[in-house]
Structure 1
Amino acid sequence: MARPAVIAHRGYAGVAPENTIEAVTRAADRDETAMLEIDVQPAACGTPVVVHDEHLEGVRDGRPLTDATGLVWETPLAELRSARVLGTDATVPTLADVLEAVPETVGLNVELKTPGRSDLRVGESLSGSERAERCEVWLPFVERVVADCEAFRGELLFSSFCEGAIAALREVADYAAAPLVWDDLEAGLEIARRYDCEAIHPPRNAIIGTELAGTTYAGFSAGEPDIDVLEAARAAGRAVNVWTATNWVQFDQLAAAGVDGIVADYPGLSGDSSGR
């Protein structure tokens, strides 16, 4: 059985300051890395920047998220680009910066995190009128993201927890897309069907037949899900990329289950720890 593709979560956030140029370039330089996963949202001017959290202040594993404060989408671009990430000298990059730094031999999974507001409708399958309204909310930002990505010649995959983002992407461009699942597999599969998505991204405990399915994570309670997302996706011809493996035991369980890709916090979980 083929091993799943390794997708570097925020540029292997377990070993580098997440979503920074330093992280993605180091991750891209490893033979095992098939794809990089990054998060994008707008600066105050609308420029797409690569950062995960809505707020610049806060703590991750005892370190400050950045040395700046405020909401990302209310912060001037110059201030964001000088904000130091997780107590290091690495700073928040623009999406254009990352695209320029990443070799086109490595794929890029661009997660559409937020269009610049907090009412996101995460993980929901929306009604027709709601879909149209949420598509309009996301459209200006998605247009900016796609415009930045046009010069990149490597593989591109766009993902989001928000149906509005997927809908807006389908309005703008013909890139591969994947709904991210949060606590509702049926909603994720419906969104994938609705937009003929190339993949679906469930959490690690949503894969039936693994010990991980008995754990609490990503809005799911302990116990195997009622839906076999791997079987359903395969029947529809979609890839299944699972997030997020934090150790080699989790990686091996997911690989044995037959998933297509695994989003990983650390390099080497696949058993290949070599660099180029």
Structure 2
Amino acid sequence: MPRTPTVRRRRRTALTGAATVLALAVAAPLTTVTTTAAAEPGDVAYAQDFDAVADGELPEGWNAVAGDWAVQDGRLVAQPASIGRITFGPHLDNYRLEATVRFEAVNNPSRWLAPILDIDPSGGVPWWQAAMRSTTTASNGIEIAERTAGNAWNVPSTAAAPSDAGVGDDVRIAIEVQGAHATWIFDGTEVLEGRIGRSDDGVLGFSYDGARISIDDVVVTEIEPRSPVLDDGELPQVAAHRGYSAVTPENTLAAYAAAMRTGAEWVEIDVHTTADGVPIVLHDQRVDRTTDGTGDVAALASDDFTSLEAGSWFSPAYRWQPAPTFAQMLDLMETGPSGMLLEIKGPETRAEVHRVVDMIVDAGLDDRVVVQSFDANALRYARERAPQIPIGLLGNLSADPVATAAELGLDYYNPPAADALARPSAVADLNAAGVGVFAWTANSAGQWRELTDVGVDGIITDRAGELAGWKTAQGQVVAPEPATPTVRVVAPADGAAVERGDTVVVAATATDADEVSLTLDGDPVDNGTSVAAADLALGEHSVVATVAGEGGEATATSTFAVVVTAAGLRSRLAGLDVSTGQLRQLLSALDAEDWERLTATITKHVPDGAARDTLLAEVGEIAAVGG
């Protein structure tokens, strides 16, 4: 479905402005341009070609944080180092950073250089960067990555470039950043999109690792904020429905964290208000379905709600997952780049909606949240309180959706997937009016393809990881041959040790294949199955995931071990149907690590059978490893 010419022209204006700046740079030396309050899209915010900088020096305002940086012969050169970096430039919300870069030498093909997109002026962690390797045609030759506050790497987005950067060759690169959205452009070709974290005062920079690099002709241009409506050829954004709800319990902290790890652009959650006015996260009006409690959430005090357990209904592996408050979700959201698609469950009062909106603004997250609701009044209350926060109407498309959008001042109109597919002209009309369309809830590759063809801007799905993988696969298709399926065992983790009293969740995710076949020790199991470790023998076990698609087959294996610990054994002894005195004897022997006495006591007081045999085997296992 073609997009509106207005949207296409918006993107071309930004690109043309940057190209004009580059042409001017060829005609005259570049100089630093101070950002002013009057800066508009297309204005140059900063430019530097290093020609006027003496060899061995750095331009004014450039801060070499790590590594050996200096200008040589009109280029900024960095000698090989481990995660060297330099900072420069202003803080901008929406910008295009261009530079000519070159690998002068590399220790090996996995080494990289990267424009830094948001970093504290001091150069400390965390920061986000857009990395490239010399072998940029590799599947991870292009990356959008975070160096976390814990000095570890988080790499949610990777892609291959159309050609290798190589060694000794200049490459013109550009990164467009619009709020938390980043677009990687390699020699004029868009190769990757993803989300990044943003800070209030983060600046720009460059980093590198294990290479000698040089940089020239740096140009930073203001561009327009990202429109809710995608450009031609862009795949719909991923919105994780109630978090990654296919593999974790919905609307929990675990589901939100898992959704962010998939690289989803948005995480959708639901908010109610308790009897004492505290916003909490829950889909239903009653707590019965997804917690261990009962009753209407509006009649519960917040302390009563937060004391509920919200995970064991989904799987025993999540039995300690708490029922979360909205404040906890906002805190978690700040640890990752995903935006929040926030459904306010109606009807809520004006004061209740204002309280939710105030929390978003106070957290400084108003540029990363879309408020949506089936209740038009809730949207009106949100807009009057914080007009800068986008709003979206949930529900079937009206007879004249463009008129409805205009009446409510909508940024998004989000219908069921079936409604969007039945009325593609309405999707096109909304897009032409600058209104984004997110369709819900679509969970199959066939639906994702149909909705993409209709032209929706986002897909709300329970299977966020699978949709993210499907999108990556579409972007990597360079020939008419079907893409090769991929599969990964996500639980249990390879090499994991599972205590015998715990639960093993068996799950896998795949791309370019509709079904995943799983076996546990050779026996078929369903994806997402929970298995009591007590039903498995002590020692090593294996999970094998197999997929088949038009492009072939793929297999992945995860090996884990069922182990026994003294703490786990104590719990099982405490659950035996024995007298208090007999239990004291058992626990006394365990606490004293007197395995011979414990074996004798079990033999004496536990009836002959499988349960006794299992306990004796566990005692022997603990004794063998010294407790």
TM-score scaled by length of structure 2: 0.35
Label 1:148 to 1:115 Cα distance change in 2 as closer, same or farther (>3 A): farther
Report the equivalent of 1:12. Answer: 244
- Check whether the contact 2:342–2:372 (CA below 8 A) recurs between aligned residues: yes
Give unpaired runs (5+ residues) of structure 1.
59-64, 117-137, 209-223
Report the equivalent of 1:107. Answer: 339
SS at match of 1:80: helix
Structure 2 residue corresponding to 1:24, chosen from 247, 256, 279: 256
Report the equivalent of 1:186. Answer: 399
The reply on whether 1:80 has 2:305 as its aligned counterpart is: yes
Structure 2 residue corresponding to 1:197, chosen from 406, 410, 415: 410
Whole-Å Cα distance in 2 between the matches of residues 79 and 142 of structure 1?
A: 22
Structure 2 residue corresponding to 1:176, chosen from 385, 390, 412: 390
Whole-Å Cα distance in 1 between the matches of residues 288 and 438 of structure 2?
A: 30
- Check whether the contact 1:12–1:265 (CA below 8 A) recurs between aligned residues: yes
- Check whether the contact 1:176–1:198 (CA below 8 A) recurs between aligned residues: yes
The reply on whether 1:268 has 2:471 as its aligned counterpart is: no
- Check whether the contact 1:12–1:27 (CA below 8 A) recurs between aligned residues: yes
CA shift digits 1:170-196 (9 cap, x unpaired): 2111110010014x5237544421122
Report the equivalent of 2:355. Answer: 144
SS at match of 2:322: coil
The more displaced of 152-161 and 38-47 is 152-161
Whole-Å Cα distance in 2 between the matches of residues 186 and 235 of structure 1?
A: 17
CA shift digits 1:34-64 (9 cap, x unpaired): 0110000101111100100001113xxxxxx
Label 1:68 to 1:188 Cα distance change in 2 as closer, same or farther (>3 A): farther
Structure 2 residue corresponding to 1:67, chosen from 292, 297, 301: 292
SS at match of 2:329: helix
- Check whether the contact 1:157–1:177 (CA below 8 A) recurs between aligned residues: yes
Alpha-carbon distance, 1:203 to partner: 0.7
Whole-Å Cα distance in 2 between the matches of residues 230 and 250 of structure 1?
A: 16
Whole-Å Cα distance in 2 between the matches of residues 110 and 15 of structure 1?
A: 20
Whole-Å Cα distance in 2 between the matches of residues 19 and 187 of structure 1?
A: 33
SS at match of 1:26: helix
Residue type of the partner of 2:418?
Answer: N
The reply on whether 1:235 has 2:432 as its aligned counterpart is: yes
Residue type of the partner of 2:300?
Answer: T
Label 1:268 to 1:235 Cα distance change in 2 as closer, same or farther (>3 A): same
Residue type of the partner of 2:245?
Answer: A
Residue type of the partner of 1:141?
Answer: E
Alpha-carbon distance, 1:207 to partner: 2.2
Whole-Å Cα distance in 1 between the matches of residues 243 and 452 of structure 2?
A: 20
The reply on whether 1:164 has 2:377 as its aligned counterpart is: yes
Residue type of the partner of 1:101?
Answer: L
Residue type of the partner of 2:292?
Answer: D
Residue type of the partner of 1:70?
Answer: G
CA shift digits 1:211-233 (9 cap, x unpaired): xxxxxxxxxxxxx35x8320220
SS at match of 2:415: coil
Alpha-carbon distance, 1:251 to partner: 1.4
Identity of aligned residues (%): 30
- Check whether the contact 1:40–1:114 (CA below 8 A) recurs between aligned residues: no
Whole-Å Cα distance in 2 between the matches of residues 187 and 96 of structure 1?
A: 37
Alpha-carbon distance, 1:29 to partner: 1.6
Whole-Å Cα distance in 2 between the matches of residues 72 and 15 of structure 1?
A: 25
TM-score scaled by length of structure 1: 0.77
Label 1:141 to 1:187 Cα distance change in 2 as closer, same or farther (>3 A): farther
- Check whether the contact 1:180–1:188 (CA below 8 A) recurs between aligned residues: no
Residue type of the partner of 2:360?
Answer: C
Whole-Å Cα distance in 1 between the matches of residues 337 and 356 of structure 2?
A: 20
SS at match of 2:356: helix
Residue type of the partner of 1:252?
Answer: R
SS at match of 1:159: strand
Structure 1 residue corresponding to 2:445, chosen from 228, 245, 248: 248
Give unpaired runs (5+ residues) of structure 2.
1-232, 313-318, 473-486, 491-627
Paired residues, what number? 230
Residue type of the partner of 2:291?
Answer: T
Whole-Å Cα distance in 2 between the matches of residues 176 and 7 of structure 1?
A: 16
Label 1:241 to 1:52 Cα distance change in 2 as closer, same or farther (>3 A): same
Whole-Å Cα distance in 2 between the matches of residues 188 and 147 of structure 1?
A: 29
CA shift digits 1:132-153 (9 cap, x unpaired): xxxxxx3111111011111143
Alpha-carbon distance, 1:85 to partner: 1.8
The reply on whether 1:98 has 2:309 as its aligned counterpart is: no
Whole-Å Cα distance in 2 between the matches of residues 111 and 83 of structure 1?
A: 22
Label 1:173 to 1:247 Cα distance change in 2 as closer, same or farther (>3 A): same
Report the equivalent of 1:259. Answer: 456
Whole-Å Cα distance in 2 between the matches of residues 80 and 252 of structure 1?
A: 40
- Structure ranking higher in helix proportion: 1
- Check whether the contact 2:376–2:408 (CA below 8 A) recurs between aligned residues: no
- Check whether the contact 1:36–1:109 (CA below 8 A) recurs between aligned residues: yes
